[in-house]
Amino acid sequence: MARSQSKELERKKFFADPIMVTTIVVLIVFLTLFILYPLAILLIDSVITGEGISLSVFQRVMGMPSFRRAITNTLKVGFLVGILSALIGLLFAYVEEYVQLKTKMLAGLFKVISMLPVVSPPFVLSLSMIMLFGKAGIITRYLLHIYDNNVYGFWGIAIVQTLTFFPVCYMMMKGLLRNIDPSLEEAARDMGASRLKVFNTVTLPLILPGLGNAFLVTFIESIADFANPMIIGGSYDTLATSIYLQITGAYDKQGASAMAVVLLAITLMMFIVQKYYLEAKSTATLTGKASRQRMMITDKSVTRPLTAFCLLVSLFVVMMYICVPLGALFKTWGYDFHLTFKWFQMVFTRYKGFKAFKDSFLLSLIASPITALLSMIISYLVVKRSFRAKGFIEAVSMLAMAVPGTVLGVGYIRGFSAGVFRSGFLQSLYGTGTLLVIVFIVRSLPTGTRSGISALRQIDKSIEESAYDMGADSFRVFMTVTLPLIKDGFLSGLVTAFVRSITAISAIILLVTPKFLLITVQINEFAEKGSYGIACAFATILIIITYGSVTLMNLFIKHFGTSREIKEV
Amino acid sequence: MAKEKKGVRLEHISKIYLDPKTKKEFYAVKDTTLDIEPGTFVTLLGPSGCGKTTTLRMIAGFESPDEGEIYLGGEPINELTPNKRDTAMVFQSYALLPHYNIYDNVAYGLKLRKMSPEVIKEKVTNILKLVGLEGMESRMTNQLSGGQQQRVALARALVIEPGVLLFDEPLSNLDAKLRVTMRTEIRRIQQEAGITAVYVTHDQSEAMAISDQIIIMNKGVVAQMGTPQEIYYHPNSEFVADFIGEANFLKGTITAKNETNGTADVYGNTVELHDIADRSVGDECTLVLRPEAALVADEGQLPCDVILSTFMGSYQNYHVMVGDTLVKITDFNPKNKKIYAVGDKAFVKFDPDSVHVI
> 3-state secondary structure string, chain B?
CCCCCCCEEEEEEEEEEECCCCCCEEEEEEEEEEEECCCCEEEEECCCCCCHHHHHHHHHCCCCCCEEEEEECCEECCCCCHHHCCEEEECCCCCCCCCCEHHHHHHHHHHHCCCCHHHHHHHHHHHHHHCCCCCCCCCEHHHCCHHHHHHHHHHHHHHCCCCEEEEECCCCCCCHHHHHHHHHHHHHHHHHHCCEEEEEECCHHHHHHHCCEEEEEECCEEEEEECHHHHHHCCCCHHHHHHCCCCEEEEEEEEEECCCCEEEEECCEEEEECCCCCCCCCCEEEEEECHHHEEEECCCCEEEEEEEEEECCCEEEEEEEECCEEEEEEEECCCCCCCCCCCCEEEEEECHHHCEEC
pLDDT of residue A131: 86
Alpha-carbon distances of A249 from A206, A365, A404, A406, A510, rounded to whole Å: 49, 32, 20, 15, 12
State pLDDT tens for residues B247-293: 999 999 999 988 888 999 999 999 999 988 888 898 999 999 999 99
Residues of A with CB under 8 A from a CB of B: 1-7, 9-10, 12-13, 16-17, 460, 462-463, 465-473, 476, 480-481, 484-485, 562, 565-566, 568-569
The DSSP output letter for A422 is G
State pLDDT tens for residues A203-214: 888 888 889 989
Q: In what order do the strands lie in the sheet with B302-311?
A: B294-297, B345-350, B302-311, B315-322, B325-332
Which among A457, A436, A453, A569 has a CA at the least distance from the CA of A513?
A436
Between B15, B25, B112, which is nearest A470 by CB? B112
Q: How far apart are CA A45 and CA A43, in angstroms?
A: 5
pLDDT of residue A412: 93
> What are the residues facing B311 on neighbouring strands?
B316
Which among A366, A367, A383 has a CA at the least distance from the CA of A486?
A383
Residue of B nearest to A11 (CA): B79
List all residues 6 or more positions away from A549 whose beta carbon is below 8 Å from its beta carbon.
Answer: A495, A498, A499
CA distance A563 to chain B (A): 10
C-beta atoms of A6 and B62 within 8 A: no
Which among B74, B47, B77, B73 has a CA at the least distance from the CA of B65?
B77
State pLDDT tens for residues A292-304: 677 787 778 888 8
State pLDDT tens for residues B284-326: 999 999 999 999 999 999 999 999 999 999 999 999 999 999 9
Q: Is A468 exposed, middle or buried (CB count within 10 Å of its CB: 0-12, 13-18, 19+)?
A: buried
Confidence of residue A56 (pLDDT cuts 50, 70, 90): confident
Between A5, A460, A562, which is nearest B95 by CB? A460
Which of B64, B139, B169, B200 is the best residue to mutate to test the A interface, defined by the most A CB atoms within 10 Å of its own CB? B64
C-beta atoms of B81 and A466 within 8 A: no
Q: How far apart are CA B79 and CA B75, in angstroms?
A: 11
pLDDT of residue A283: 63
Alpha-carbon distances of B78 from A312, A467, B59, B144, B343, rounded to whole Å: 67, 20, 9, 37, 62
Q: How far apart are CA A569 and CA A566, in angstroms?
A: 5
State pLDDT tens for residues B178-231: 889 889 989 998 998 889 999 999 999 999 999 999 999 999 999 999 999 999
Sign of CA dihedral A256, A257, A260, A266: negative
Residue of B nearest to A17 (CA): B81
Which among A292, A304, A333, A269 has a CA at the least distance from the CA of A139?
A333
HEC states along A340-394?
CCHHHHHHHHCCCHHHHHHHHHHHHHHHHHHHHHHHHHHHHHHHHCCCCCHHHHH
pLDDT of residue A282: 66
SS3 assignment, position A48: strand
State pLDDT tens for residues B42-94: 999 999 889 999 999 999 999 999 999 999 999 999 999 999 999 999 999 88
Q: What are the chain B neighbours of A473 within 8 Å (beta carbons)? A: 81, 83
Ramachandran class of B210: left when φ > 0, alpha when ψ lies in -120 to 50, beta otherwise: alpha
Residue of A nearest to B164 (CA): A469
pLDDT beyond 80 at A560: no
Which of B13, B30, B108 is the best residue to mutate to test the A interface, defined by the most A CB atoms within 10 Å of its own CB? B108
List all residues 6 or more positions away from B266 whose beta carbon is below 8 Å from its beta carbon.
Answer: B250, B251, B252, B287, B301, B302, B322, B323
Residue of A nearest to B81 (CA): A13
C-beta atoms of A569 and B16 within 8 A: no
Alpha-carbon distances of A158 from A71, A124, A171, A264, rounded to whole Å: 15, 14, 20, 21
- pTM equals 0.83
- Name the residue with higher pLDDT: B8 or A51: B8
Residue B132 in contact with residue B148, Cβ under 8 Å?
A: no
Q: How far apart are CA B66 and CA A2, in angstroms?
A: 7
C-beta atoms of B83 and A4 within 8 A: no
pLDDT beyond 90 at B173: no
- Name the residue with higher pLDDT: A388 or A31: A31
Q: What are the chain B neighbours of A470 within 8 Å (beta carbons)? A: 83, 88, 108-109, 112, 156, 160
Which among B70, B77, B72, B8 has a CA at the least distance from the CA of B37?
B8
C-beta atoms of A470 and B156 within 8 A: yes
pLDDT beyond 50 at A564: no
Residue A231 in contact with residue A240, Cβ under 8 Å?
A: no
Which among A253, A251, A214, A221 has a CA at the least distance from the CA of A238?
A221
Q: At what angle do helices A253-272 and A37-47 cross, to 10 degrees?
A: 120
Q: What are the chain B neighbours of A466 within 8 Å (beta carbons)? A: 89, 91, 95-97, 153, 156
pLDDT of residue B87: 93
pLDDT beyond 50 at B351: yes
> How many CB atoms are closer than 10 A to CB B65?
24
Residue B356 in contact with residue B235, Cβ under 8 Å?
A: yes
Question: HSE (CB half, 13 Å, CA atoms) of B140?
Answer: 10
Q: How far apart are CA A320 and CA A125, in angstroms?
A: 6
pLDDT beyond 50 at A466: yes
HEC states along A506-568?
CCHHHHCCCCCCCHHHHHHHHHHHCCHHHHHHHHHHHHHHHHHHHHHHHHHHHHHCCHHHHHH
Q: How far apart are CA B153 and CA B165, in angstroms?
A: 11
List all residues 6 or more positions away from B209 whose beta carbon is below 8 Å from its beta carbon.
Answer: B180, B183, B184, B187
State pLDDT tens for residues A58-114: 888 888 889 999 999 999 999 999 999 999 999 999 988 888 877 777 778 887 887
SS3 assignment, position A3: coil
Confidence of residue A24 (pLDDT cuts 50, 70, 90): very high
Q: Is B299 exposed, middle or buried (CB count within 10 Å of its CB: 0-12, 13-18, 19+)?
A: exposed
Which among B244, B245, B267, B235 has a CA at the least distance from the CA of B330?
B245
C-beta atoms of A13 and B27 within 8 A: no
Residue B143 in contact with residue B105, Cβ under 8 Å?
A: no
Q: Is B159 exposed, middle or buried (CB count within 10 Å of its CB: 0-12, 13-18, 19+)?
A: buried
pLDDT beyond 80 at B18: yes
Under 8 Å CB pairs connecting chains A and B tally to 111
What is the share, in percent, of chain A residues with pLDDT greater than 70?
96
Q: How far apart are CA A13 and CA B290, in angstroms?
A: 48
Q: How far apart are CA A319 and CA A324, in angstroms?
A: 9
C-beta atoms of A462 and B63 within 8 A: no
pLDDT of residue A424: 78
- Name the residue with higher pLDDT: B90 or A56: B90
CA distance A492 to chain B (A): 19
Which among A290, A317, A252 has a CA at the least distance from the CA of A89?
A317
Which of A470, A478, A488, A567 is the best residue to mutate to test the B interface, defined by the most B CB atoms within 10 Å of its own CB? A470
> How many CB atoms are closer than 10 A to CB B3?
9
Confidence of residue A420 (pLDDT cuts 50, 70, 90): confident
pLDDT of residue A569: 30
Confidence of residue A562 (pLDDT cuts 50, 70, 90): low
C-beta atoms of B97 and A467 within 8 A: yes
> How many CB atoms are closer than 10 A to CB A289?
9
Average pLDDT of A333-357? 81
C-beta atoms of B92 and A471 within 8 A: no
Between B64, B80, B98, which is nearest A6 by CB? B64
Which among A215, A179, A217, A184 has a CA at the least distance from the CA of A199?
A184
DSSP per-residue letters across A424-475: STTGGGTTSHHHHHHHHHHHHHHHHHHHHHHHHHTS-HHHHHHHHHTT--HH
pLDDT beyond 70 at A140: yes
Q: At residue A189, what are phi and psi to the nearest 5 degrees?
A: -60, -45
pLDDT beyond 60 at A285: no
- Name the residue with higher pLDDT: B210 or A118: B210
Confidence of residue A568 (pLDDT cuts 50, 70, 90): very low
Which among B231, B183, B190 has a CA at the least distance from the CA of B209?
B183
Residue A524 in contact with residue A231, Cβ under 8 Å?
A: yes
Q: What are the chain B neighbours of A9 within 8 Å (beta carbons)? A: 64-65, 78-79
The angle formed by the CA atoms of residues B105, B108 and B110, to the nearest 5 degrees, is 130
pLDDT of residue B164: 94
pLDDT beyond 60 at A373: yes
Q: What are the chain A neighbours of B62 within 8 Å (beta carbons)? A: 465, 469
The DSSP output letter for A290 is P
Residue of A nearest to B65 (CA): A6
C-beta atoms of A562 and B92 within 8 A: no
Confidence of residue A338 (pLDDT cuts 50, 70, 90): confident
pLDDT of residue B341: 93
CA distance A476 to chain B (A): 9
Please provide the distance, in angstroms rounded to a whole number, between the alpha carbons at the two ends of chain A.
41
Region of poorest pLDDT, from A51-60, A398-407, A474-483, B325-334? A51-60
Q: How far apart are CA B81 and CA A16, in angstroms?
A: 8
